Amino acid sequence: MTVRAMEAGEGGLDGIGKMLTPKGPAAPAAGEFSFDIVSPELGLGPGLCAGSLACAHRKARLEKMERHLRTPELLSAVQGDAIICVAPPQEASDGAFAGVRALVVRQGQSILLEAGAWHWIPFPLNAEGARFMVLFRNGTGDEDLEIRELRDARDIEWKGATP
């Protein structure tokens, strides 16, 4: 007896589960990033959703940071390696952030940011861009998003060069 394999996204999960892999190119055609909800409700707890974050290759210069005070955020590198800038939860004083770090997140790795942690759109390490699966509370982008300009923009360095 054999079981014939089929693509999960072509009906293989019907009645069993959900396909969460985003469709489309790894990075947006123009601009810094694009974000789309892949599944508005995961059923893993009240109000948890999944999104697809596609990041274009661009100059690695940190000028802004964002945070979500009421929800943690999981970022999982689905395609490509990237640098994600983060900072501990804090009240930014006039655009000044303490403890800013630039982390290399490789394809296949995931990070979980605690509620209130500052972060910004990943900077891909290759010209093809990068894609991340994002999990957080439903409505986070509309109801729990604070963006701040940095008082002093920072260039990001990786192995002695700017990505």
Q: What is the pLDDT along the chain (163 residues), one digit of tens a residue?
A: 866 766 666 666 677 676 676 666 566 666 677 777 666 666 666 788 888 999 999 999 999 999 999 999 999 999 999 999 999 999 977 878 999 999 999 999 999 999 999 999 999 999 999 999 999 998 898 899 999 999 899 999 888 666 6
Domain extent at residue 111: 25-150
Asked if residue 41 is part of any domain, the answer here is yes
Query: Which two three-digit tokens encode residue 121?
Result: 């759109």
User: What is the rounded radius of gyration, in angstroms, for the C-alpha atoms of the chain?
Assistant: 17
Give a yes or no: residue 89 inside a domain.
Answer: yes
155 found inside a domain: no
Q: Is residue 97 part of a domain?
A: yes
Please report whether residue 32 resides in a domain. Answer: yes
Number of domains making up the chain: 1
What is the CATH number for 63? 2.60.120.10
> Would you say 81 and 109 are in contact if contact means Cβ atoms under 8 Å apart?
no
pLDDT digits (tens, 9 = 90+) for 29-44: 666 777 776 666 666 6
Element (H, E) at 86: strand 82-87
Structure tokens of 47?
Answer: 């109000």
